[in-house]
Structure 1
Amino acid sequence: MIDFTSLPVTENPNSGLGTVDFDHIVFGQNPTDHMLQAIYSNSEWTDAEIVPFSTISLSPLALCLHYGQTVFEGFKAYRQPDGGISVFRMDKHYQRINRSLSRMGMPELPEPLFMQGIRQLVDLEKDWIPSGNDTSLYIRPFVFASEPRLGVKGAKEYRFMVVCMPMGKYYEGNVSVKVETGFVRAVEGGTGDAKCGGNYAAAILPTQLANQQGYDQLIWTDGIHHEYMEESGTMNLMFVIDERLVTPPLSGSILEGITRDSILTIARDLGIPVEERKISYRELVAAFEEGKKIEAFGVGTAAVISPIERIGINGRDYFPSVQDNSLFITLKKQLQDIRTGLAPDRYGWNEII
């Protein structure tokens, strides 16, 4: 068994930290100075190390480029009031990436490689963690098939890498969405509950078409009836109807969101009635037409909670309530206070570095 408790480090002599405007962070464009990498070959993970961030070299025959064996995760580290660092629910993300890897026929990651390696990387990059409101260090682990050989099969060689970047708000302001009843994101028995690259690639064209109609994102419906709402863009979907928090169940076509689980846990502890059940867009239309007060929002690691202010359904727009006393504001504050150390971590979610 290879020891991953302390990875070798090659420090970057040319830090890019001074080039980043932390008051205007653009997501996805400012990688930190270092990255973690490891190689899978001969049925084991080896050569784990932390090195300066740089481009990588791949054969044009690398299997990931042809058959889509690629899986990723995304989670965050937060600056605490005392200057310390916490990583939010890293254990749950470790469990989820291994479920995704298993579904895609890829080798699972040893826990010490993932957990200890990321702790070491985040500690090395601690100066990159911003301290402003709604800011964090985004952590992106990913695994891809690197074996240089054509053929539809599971690869024998893989790479595991982790990169980080400072992050502000993912969405500026509220979002408008369109209920999609033509294109399908995923079906039960497919890869909808795996965080693999193909799920996101399939969403690009339908999202572009929705953008052309004036919507920011889509609400995906199920692949059988095209009626039951499942996810919103890259987020899990939640509604407040009749003062009850309603969210689609984890049916196999929906990603098991860690933010989703956190919000549901907090809501139940606040005494808010929670329903995990199928919800048809027709039910939502009926609720709007009856004049019910409805909140709608997406939840996810990058966006945290994004309120939905407009929903397009079959050519007509409906407008959920977005107010200062909305439930989603209470839930977001509760979650953010735990993440940033402003409230007690009564669930043991924060991994202190």
Structure 2
Amino acid sequence: MAGLVLCEPTELYNILNQSTKLSRLTEPNYLCLLDARTKREYNESHVITARRVKQNPGGDYLVPESVELECVKYCVVYDSKTSSLDDIYYDDYEEKEEDEKDAEVGAAIQCARVLEQFTRHPVRILKGGYERFTACYHFLRTQKIFWMPQELDAFQPYPVEILPAQLYMGDYRQACDQQIQKDLKIKAQVNISEELATLFTDESKTLLHVSVADSPDADLFSLFPTICHFIDAKMALGAVLVFSTLGLSRSSTAVMAFLMHSSHYPLKRAWKYIQKCKTNMRPNRGFVQQLSAWESQIYGSAITDISEPHY
């Protein structure tokens, strides 16, 4: 058995918003998101792309027939508010309709225990369930039940979340999307690209533009202090979005430099952290060397061996 693990809301948010040229939600074996709440609750609203898991007449959860769970990278299950791997709910229990009671008692865990027999990766249980997730990301809930392939193709991912409700990393399109700014409550932006844009109509929002090419010869190192101090100052006032043209190289370099500065992460830890948030992030070789130099400046010497293949 692959086992069960808790999944923080930020993790599911980032899973939903991974992309290459298109959203990764278009990949059939990327994500299986299952809602273990009652049919009434599911129909009222659910997380985008979630399907309601069904039960047999005896109340046992059924494995979705249309999904090859053994091939799925992420299998995530949620109910209303599971917060640990041994949760059983008692509040408001007597007020539930008779046919809803069993579904509310450890529903996500009961379902996940069935699914784990068929998966290669651990089944993730959303911590805090639907209630906590949608309190953070209300814009990712829907009543839509069926998604056509062309609708998934058209889905526009949000910037990935680095620090919950504080720091995001994205691309130029996302930075120019007013709805994204509103949904994520973005108050400041760091533009690490050569493109200019008028991004805010609200003068209370601020922008730092660092014009740098995505080239191994480009100098970001000398600008790390400016970027880090700007993010530090603006995060005290609201969420900050760091972006570059594609959101892969320059933006990830800057965000890693910030984590090394603010959280005192060595480069190796910052790299793994950002790679978990944005799986296809890829600083160019010159920027990797500059991050190593930044690590040496912070710690007095280099800690991370950047000659290892994955850097």
Scaled by the length of structure 2, the TM-score of the pair is: 0.28
Please give the TM-score of this superposition, normalised by the length of structure 1.
0.26
Could you say which structure has the higher strand fraction?
1
